[in-house]
């Protein structure tokens, strides 16, 4: 069937934010590459990225881009649209995703690949409608934090679970009671399906259906604005002595997030990658 190709050129951080938001808004696939130089003799500008999104031919491109930009907290960008005739776009999309090692033990492996022979803990996960494939720096930051900090048997809440990758990783690292929450019902479906495929037990709920319960660990990989707005709600789900890990935060936004949680937590930037920060710390 024919497809719609939507192309944008953005600063690196904006492109990464918008790529995930486009998938959540309904794009079937996205890809990022450095913007092309004006002359063949000039190196590509790696501070700016060309974002290409693929969607079914009947998609309202303006509505899709506007919804994604709104979710990412960005002004609506300029874009170009082209109709693309039938081709094996599933295979082309798959070629973008291979096994990813995160930290010392964990591998994220799509179903069409075999894990490396020496892989330790393996999460089987295919790109889909919900955020979280392990390819984004913010996801990797939280995964490495789990490997470093999580203790066997600790209870975990993944707030904004998306694909369920963080909750599944917590199970692989030995967590006990695990819950996943998301405002998108499709994300809850994805989390449950991915959990089953990985032999993990994860309870899922919409935010309004989440019981009043405190966890040893709360994870939230969303965006800085929502994290600030959710500070009191997330704090209420962390037991005294427990800890929280927050991501989806640009390094320039980290101080605002830390300040929003200062009444209940001792937080600091625990790690950073490609301009993204992980804010983590314990509850007093």
DSSP H helical ranges for 26-107: 61-72, 89-94
11: which residues sit within 8 A by CB, 6+ positions away?
A: 47, 48, 49
Cα 44 to Cα 39: distance, rounded to the nearest angstrom: 9
10: which residues sit within 8 A by CB, 6+ positions away?
A: 18, 48, 49, 51, 77
Instruction: Report the pLDDT value the prediction gives residue 151, as an integer from 0 to 100.
Output: 98
For residue 33, name the pLDDT band (cuts at 50, 70, 90): confident
Instruction: Report the pLDDT value the prediction gives residue 23, as an integer from 0 to 100.
Output: 83
What is the residue-averaged pLDDT of the chain? 88
Please answer whether residues 158 and 128 qualify as being in contact, where contact means their C-beta atoms are separated by less than 8 angstroms. Answer: no
**pTM for the model:** 0.75
Cα 237 to Cα 115: distance, rounded to the nearest angstrom: 35
Chain segment 184-233, per-residue pLDDT in tens:
888 899 999 999 999 999 999 999 999 999 999 999 999 898 999 999 99
Cα 268 to Cα 255: distance, rounded to the nearest angstrom: 9
Q: Calculate mean pLDDT across residues 234-261.
A: 96
Please answer whether residues 173 and 121 qualify as being in contact, where contact means their C-beta atoms are separated by less than 8 angstroms. Answer: yes
Instruction: Report the pLDDT value the prediction gives residue 130, as an integer from 0 to 100.
Output: 54
Chain segment 83-140, per-residue pLDDT in tens:
877 555 555 556 667 899 999 999 999 988 899 998 999 999 987 655 677 878 899 9
Chain segment 149-192, per-residue pLDDT in tens:
999 999 999 999 989 999 999 999 999 999 999 988 888 999 99
Structural domains of the chain, ranges and CATH numbers in brackets: 3-94 (3.30.70.260), 130-283 (3.40.50.150)
């Amino acid at each position: 069937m024919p497809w719609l190709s939507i192309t944008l050129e953005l600063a690196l951080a904006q492109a990464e934010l918008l790529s995930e938001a486009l998938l959540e808004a309904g794009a079937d696939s996205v890809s990022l590459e450095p913007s092309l130089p004006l002359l063949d003799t000039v190196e590509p500008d790696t501070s700016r990225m060309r974002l290409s999104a693929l969607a079914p031919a009947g998609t309202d491109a303006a509505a899709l881009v506007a919804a994604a930009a709104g979710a990412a907290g960005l002004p609506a960008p300029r874009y170009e649209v082209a109709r693309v005739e039938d081709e094996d776009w599933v295979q082309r999309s798959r070629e973008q995703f291979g096994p990813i090692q995160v930290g010392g033990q964990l591998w994220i492996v799509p179903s069409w690949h075999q894990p490396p022979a020496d892989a330790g803990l393996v999460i089987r996960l295919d790109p889909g409608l919900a955020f979280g494939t392990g390819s984004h720096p913010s996801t990797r930051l939280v995964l490495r934090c789990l490997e470093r900090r999580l203790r066997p048997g600790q209870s975990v809440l993944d707030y904004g679970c998306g694909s369920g990758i963080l909750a599944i990783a917590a199970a692989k690292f030995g967590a006990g009671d695990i819950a996943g929450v998301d405002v998108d019902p499709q994300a809850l479906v994805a989390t449950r399906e991915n959990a089953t495929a990985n032999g993990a037990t994860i309870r899922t709920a919409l935010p309004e259906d989440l019981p009043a319960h405190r966890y040893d660990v709360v994870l939230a990989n969303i965006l800085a604005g929502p994290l600030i707005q959710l500070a009191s709600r997330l704090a209420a789900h962390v037991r005294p002595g427990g800890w929280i890990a927050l991501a989806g935060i640009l390094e320039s936004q980290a101080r605002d997030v830390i300040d929003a949680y200062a009444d209940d937590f001792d937080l600091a930037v625990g790690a950073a990658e490609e301009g993204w920060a992980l804010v983590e710390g314990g509850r007093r």
